[in-house]
Chains A and B, each alone.
Chain A
Amino acid sequence: MAPEPPLLSMSGITKSFPGVRALDGVDLDVQAGEVHCLLGQNGAGKSTLIKILAGAHQPDTGTVRWRGDPVVLRSPIAAMRLGIATIYQELDLVGHLSVAENVHLGHEPTAAGFVVRRRAARAATAELLARLGHPEIDPARPVGRLSAAQQQIVSMARALSHDVRLIVMDEPSAALDPEEVDNLFRIVASLTADGVAVVYISHRLEEIRRIGDRVTVLKDGRAVARGLPAKTTPTRDLVALMTGRTVEYVFPERPAPAPAAERPPVLQVRGLARAGEFAPLDLEVRAGEIVGLAGLVGSGRSEILETIYGARRPTAGQVLVDGRPVRPGSVRAAVRAGLGLAPEERKAQALLMLESVTRNVSVSSLSRFARAGWIDRSAERGAARAAVRELSLRPDDPSVPVRTLSGGNQQKAVLARWLLRGCKVLLLDEPTRGVDVGARAELYAVVRRLADEGLAVLLVSSEVPEVLGLADRVLVLREGHVVHTAPATDLDEHRVLDLVMNAHPVASEGSPAS
C-alpha cells in the first residue's frame, strides 16, 4: 500500500435495482485537496454512485476505503460522521425553517442537551455564509423565500457546518447564472486550498476545464476512464468516452430559405405584461420559425412563457393564435387555441411519474380517443406509439413507465404529447435541462423537424449557445425588458452575454419583433 493512501477509494462497486444494473464494478479514487469530476450521460450511474458515497444506498458488492481503512457507509449519518457531505441537485432543504435552522438541522447547538441555542446557531450560520461570499443572506429568513442560487449556498453552508473532508456536488451550477457560478468556483477553490476534496458532477465541459483536476468518466455503470487530467484531455475524447461515439455539440441546419415573411404569423403577443415580472412585450412567431428568448435567471423568461400559456394571468396585453385572441389566464383556452408547453420542471410540471408513456402522451388529447367519455384504448396506444416513433423516443415501447426514461426521452414524451394534440405553437422552457450531451443533439433535431413541418416554436434557455444554435431569431431579455432582437446568425455568445449583463440601458436598440 502506498505511504499516502487516497482520501477515498472505492473499488469494484456494483449496485442493481429491479430490472436495472446501475453500477457494474466502478472504481474511484479521490485525493485530498483535489476537484475530481464525474462525467457521464444520464443513466451512466453517477447519481447511484454518489448516493452510495452519501450512505443513502448500500452497494451490492465492492469496498469503500477512507484514508486507507475499509469503512461501511451504513447511513447518511455514518457518511457525515466521516466528513462526507453531499449537495444534491434537488436541494433537500425544509422550506418553512429558517436558514440557520436548516444549516444546523440534526446537529443544533444546544444548551443542557436539548434547548436550542438559536442565537449561537444564527451567529455560526452568518459566519459560514460570509465565508461562502453571501453575507447578505439573513440566517433568520425562511429558506422557502430564498432564490434557487441562495438555497444552494445554504445547502453548502450546511455541508460546511460539519467537519467536512469531502464534498460531493451534483450539478451545482444547473440553477445558477454566470456570476453565481464564478462565486461557486471561488468557494470550491478555497475549499480545496484547505485540503478538502470535491467530487464535482456537471454536464458542462467548460466548467470541468476551469476547476477540475482529474476526471472519471462513467458509462453504463462502469468507469470507462479514471483520473484523466481535466484541463488537457481533448473534448472529443471525453465525448467519445461518454457516448461511445464521437459526437459534437451539433445543431441541425436551418432550412435554406429562412422561414420568412411570406408565412403567416401563428403566435402574436401584443403588449403582454405582468406587473413586477416583465414589461409589455410584443412578439410574433411564424409557422416554421423558432424564436429564442435569451436572458439570465430572473430576467422573466419563464414567466413570459407561462403567461402566454395562460398559466399566469397577464396584467395587460393580448395573445393571438392565427389572429384570434386567446382568453387570458386560462390554460385550457390556450391549449384549445393550439398552444403547447414543455415546462422547465419536467417532473413537477409535466409528467405523471406513476404512469406509462402512453398515458403521459395522450393526457392532453383524451377526448380524441373517447366516444361519450369512453376511451378507445387501442386507438390511444396506436396514436401514442406513432408519436413516440416519430420522435424516436427510446425505448419505442410506450407502455413503459415514464419514470424509467432518461431525461432526454422524458422530454420527448412531453413533446409527443403536443405532437399528438396537433398543436400549432410549441413553447419550450429550458428543453435540455438535465438532458445529456448526446441526447441534446437529437432533441435539437426533433425541434427543428417539428418547425420544418410548420410548427411555430418559442424557445427559452439559459444556455446561450443553445438559443443561438437552434433559434432563427433571438430576443434578448434583461430584467423583464426586451433589449435586443436579431436573427440568430447575426449574434454570437459574447455579444448576447454582453447585452444580457450590460448594466446601462440599451432599450433603444431593441425593436419590436416582426
Chain B
Amino acid sequence: MSPLTSRRGLLFGTAAVSAGALLAGCTSNEPSDGKQAGSAQPAASDTPGKHVTIGFAGPQADHGWLNAINDNAKSRAEKYSDVTLEITEGSNDTATQIGQIETLINKKVDVLVVLPADGKALTQVGLKAMRAGIPVVNLDRVFNTPQAYRCWIGGDNYGMGLNAGHYIGEKLKDKPNARVVELAGLDNLELTRQRTQGFDDALKNYPNIKKVARQAADFTVESGQAKMAQLLQAQPEFDALWNHDDDQGVGALRAIEQAGRDDFLMVGGAGALSAFQAIKRDDSVLKATVLYPPTMAASAIDLARALGQGKGIGGLAEFEIPASITLYSAVVDKTNVDTYMPTGFR
C-alpha cells in the first residue's frame, strides 16, 4: 500500500536547470513527493565544473524534519550533472554511523557532508576524514572541535526560541499579566534546552508576560497530543503557546481541538507544510511557526560541491567558502507564509 499517492511536481527554484538534471529527477525511482529543492537559489555557481563525489551520512529519517534533510540533499545533488551523491542508510546508532563514514573515507569520496546522530560522539571520525584530506561539511549538529570540519552549516536553536519569544512578546505586550506555556521537545537533547533558553531570554524583555507551565514531549504526534492535553487541563487560561516542533504540533493541535479551546495563540517550530497550510488557512490557534529550515541540507551540498571544485561562493565569499554559516530562524506567519510554502516539509 502506498503511503501517499499524491504526486507533487518537482519545484525547481531556478530557471537555469540543465536538461540532464531534470531527466535524472523525473526518472528517479525515489518517491518524488515531499522533495523540495526549495526556493533558494543555489549558493554556488551552477555551471558544470570538475566532477565531485559527495559522501552524505545522516541519522535515520524517522521524523519529518530529518526526512526533509535527506530529500533536500538528494534533490539538490540531482540538480548538478557534475555531482555524484553517495548517501548512506541513515542510522541513529553512533557506532553504525562511524562505520558508515569510515566506509565513505575508504571509498575516497571528494567531500563529506555529515549530520551526526550525536555531534560530540562523531568528532573523532570527522577529524579522521579531515586528516585523510577529505574536507568535511558538518551539518547542523556540531562537532566538538572546528578541526573536525572545514565548514559548519546549521540552524540556530537558541535563535528559534528567541524569535518565538519575541513574536509572542510583541503580540501580548499590551496585555497585563499575560500567561504563556511551553511544549518542549525531547528533554535530553541539547537543542531542546537551547530553544527553551532562547525563549526564556526573549520573554525577559516583557515583564507583563509570565511562563506558567512547561512540559516536554518527544517530537512524536502521540506525545504531543498527550502532553498538550495535560497542559490544557492544568492551565484553564493562558494567552500563548510555544511548541518546539511542528510534528508533535500535529498532536498538540489535535488535543486543543478535542478540548475545544481557542482562547490563545500558538507558535510552532521547524516549518512543516501542514503548519504552513494551517497558518495560511488561519482557522486554528496556530498563527506562526519559527523556521529551522531543512533547506540547509541543500546548501550543504552546494558548499560541498564548491569545496570539491575549489571554488568560492559568488557574491558572498569569492575564493574560499566560509568556516561557519548559521541560518536565520525566521518567523513565518500569515503575512509571509506564501514565500515559505514551497520549503515546507511533510
Complex A–B touching at CB under 8 A: no
